[in-house]
Structure 1
């Protein structure tokens, strides 16, 4: 399996939690749909084309201090020139301030004209087909993608290790509380939270939901009896992929 990584970052981001509407909460990091949308915008893939979900897998790691704030919005029904009720309503959107994520994209059976090589080429040239953004169209992503080279990765299982990135308990392993409880105050930099997100989409529109766990401080998290973890020796990392 081959893998590359790049940065998703900008001034603000919002990855809408699926269970909120009036006060729109954000997920702390992008899940598969947001990452596939980001990659699709680079490659010029239309939003109704779900082929990427079957071709590549991804992982994501928080790389910045996690901080949120609320932005008020006024919404109006109708559009200029319409006869619809133009009554305004106020809503608040939770956004992440100065977000930064390290994204990992993995592909099997890689060929010369692979998805990874096309992503790398377009990002290096800073020529994405569509404009990449961070959850909402008004939150444009930085063009400083910090794209890596394509390196080797290998799936590992049935071992205990520290993983970098968001993971799904059960699907990727379980928290190693024995190890966590032995960490000193200086070593324990875990600020763990859980959130519901999309793990993937099956054709035609079968959405796969999962509960993700992530360290908001971005450090590695001890897991035991892992599976679906990509070992990347070149970067000395174990990354949960989905």
Structure 2
């Protein structure tokens, strides 16, 4: 199968959890819905118009953590914006909201780095996205930036390439993507040669046209940015000899 592989990098991220209330909590990685929104924006889709084009049956996505990260809570003074005249902060009743941020383990020298794999039943879509991402001095966009969640956390996409993948059943290997809990048969932590800092997070997978959640799942994430040795029901062996699992599995 033909798979587009690229990296999303930046200094800070905030992927707001759908069940957050007064405190804005963040996922450790961009959920599938965030990744699809970013990709659709780069391809020029209108907001909320692309859910059918990227449904889980026709579009498969995987994501992995490539640099160590940690979480930090900061209280942000949010502005009340009802018109362009309010952008200077003059309107009263600002909202102070504790906000969870994802930052590199070393904020001074490090960067967040997420590796993304996408396979789509429409090869023309993959080819167009590949062309836009592989520009030597940046990438072409149809009006959006590669923000890491909210708009102020700017990032960029790079290192795009096409790899081949082969689906395999009941594989035990070091996995470089996050793992859907429903796909895991067993974890072999003693066989992992790297430091592990595992987290389990409940993330949305797909939206209905009205942006209500159509599917969600639990995922295992290693915040230390190292592969996790596990046995899974279904996996993908890449042409570079690495293993990943799709978020939809």
TM range (shorter): 0.7 to 0.9
Q: CA separation in 2, counterparts of 1:165 and 1:208?
A: 20
Match of 2:196 in 1: 190
Q: Which of 216, 235, 238 does residue 243 from structure 2 map onto?
A: 238
Q: CA deviation at 1:20?
A: 1.7
Structure 1: runs of 5+ lacking an equivalent: none
CA offset digits 1:93-129 (Å, max 9, x no partner) = 1111232100011124x54xx1110111111231111
User: Cα RMSD between the aligned structures?
Assistant: 2.2
DSSP 3-state at the match of 1:157: strand
Match of 1:210 in 2: 217
Number of aligned pairs? 227
Match of 1:106 in 2: 119
- TM-score, scaled relative to structure 1: 0.85
Q: CA deviation at 1:202?
A: 4.7
Alignment of 1:1-242 (within 5 A): 1-49=1-49, 50-54=51-55, 55-77=58-80, 79-80=82-83, 86-97=92-103, 98-108=111-121, 110-111=122-123, 114-125=124-135, 126-130=139-143, 131-143=145-157, 145-148=158-161, 150-170=162-182, 172-176=183-187, 179-181=188-190, 187-202=193-208, 205-227=212-234, 229-232=235-238, 234-241=239-246, 242=248
Gap change, CA 1:45 and 1:217, over 3 Å in 2? same
Answer yes or no: is the 8 Å Cα contact 1:78–1:86 preserved in 2: no
Answer yes or no: is the 8 Å Cα contact 2:48–2:209 preserved in 1: no
Answer yes or no: is the 8 Å Cα contact 1:36–1:52 preserved in 2: no
- TM-score, scaled relative to structure 2: 0.82
Q: CA deviation at 1:167?
A: 1.5
Structure 2: runs of 5+ lacking an equivalent: 104-110
DSSP 3-state at the match of 1:72: strand
Q: CA deviation at 1:157?
A: 1.2
Q: CA deviation at 1:206?
A: 4.5
More strand by share: 2
